[in-house]
Amino acid sequence: MKGTTFFKIQIGLHLIGLSCVLLVPAVRESRLVAFLVTVFGLWIAFNAFFLQHRTSTWLSFLTKWWPPRLLLRLFLTIPIVAFGFTVCDDAYSRRLPMFQGAIHALRESKTSKFNLGEPIEVGWPVSGSYEEGNKSEYRTLEIPVRGSYGEGSLFGAWTKTNEVWKMDELKLILSDGSSRPIRDSSTPESRGEVCADTSSNITISAI
């Protein structure tokens, strides 16, 4: 891409990202909204600045020589690339059966109702990690949640052994940093195919 094309594309992409932050309810109501608006606004301004002054003598070394030009272009794409990865990670995490089971347990738990209030809603973004060992696989999820008078994060950890995922831990981390167990990890599971929420004595399937 030569001349003004790169900067114009970046301005357009960051405007799309900013529009998503402001218009998509799940993103607009997240704890990151102020940060995202600020970052997208700054990077739109950065790209507009370089678009306007790219031919200035004092900026020519950033736009004409390939090493600094490459670094500049990487810098100017950081927010939209990071936002894209976050959106993809959130969408993928929400499709996992572990996510569905964890939210079911949270919404049925007396502990979460007491600390968050009702209705309990899922925030944005949902994030997680995945590791693979010699004989087992490990996955964690961190899910922003909020109720009528409280908010926090739901943290869950699972281990896959012999093709079966088992819940190791599920806890509610409140905004003050304290945590409340949603499910006792010592509760027996039938072949790992079910998880029990000890706070409400319900059984949820297919995690």
Are residues 115 and 174 in contact, defined by beta-carbon separation less than 8 angstroms? yes
Of 62, 94, 126, which residue constitutes the final position of a domain?
94
Kindly state the DSSP code that residue 205 receives in the 8-state scheme.
E
Note the pLDDT tens digit of each residue in 123-161: 999 999 999 988 899 999 999 999 999 999 999 999 998
Residues 199 and 101 both lie in one domain: yes
Residues 83 and 101 both lie in one domain: no
Mean pLDDT of the chain: 85
Which of the four pLDDT bands, split at 50, 70 and 90, describes residue 3?
Answer: low
Residues 85 and 109 both lie in one domain: no
- The tokens for 47 are 């790209």
The angle subtended at Cα 44 by Cα 43 and Cα 46, nearest 5°, is: 60
Residues 105 and 201 both lie in one domain: yes
Note the pLDDT tens digit of each residue in 46-78: 999 988 887 776 677 676 777 888 888 899 999
Of 41, 73, 94, which residue constitutes the final position of a domain?
94
Of 59, 94, 129, which residue constitutes the final position of a domain?
94
Query: What pLDDT score does 67 carry?
Result: 83
Residues 6+ positions from 130 with CB-CB distance below 8 Å: 137, 138, 139
- The tokens for 96 are 């996992």
3-state SS track over 127-190: EEEEEECCCEEEEEEEEEEECCCCEEEEEEEEEEECCEEEEEEEEEEECCCCEEEEECCCCCCC
Residues 90 and 104 both lie in one domain: no
Query: What pLDDT score does 31 carry?
Result: 87
Give the domain range for residue 52. 5-94
Q: What is the mean pLDDT of residues 6-25?
A: 94
Residues 103 and 193 both lie in one domain: yes
Query: Model pTM?
Result: 0.77
Residues 86 and 59 both lie in one domain: yes
Q: What is the mean pLDDT of residues 21-31?
A: 89
Is residue 18 scored above 90 in pLDDT? yes
Query: What pLDDT score does 66 carry?
Result: 76
Give Cα 10 to chain centroid, integer Å: 23
Distance CA 80, CA 4 (A): 18
Domain count, the chain: 2
Sign of the Cα torsion 105, 106, 107, 113 reads positive
Is residue 2 scored above 60 in pLDDT? no
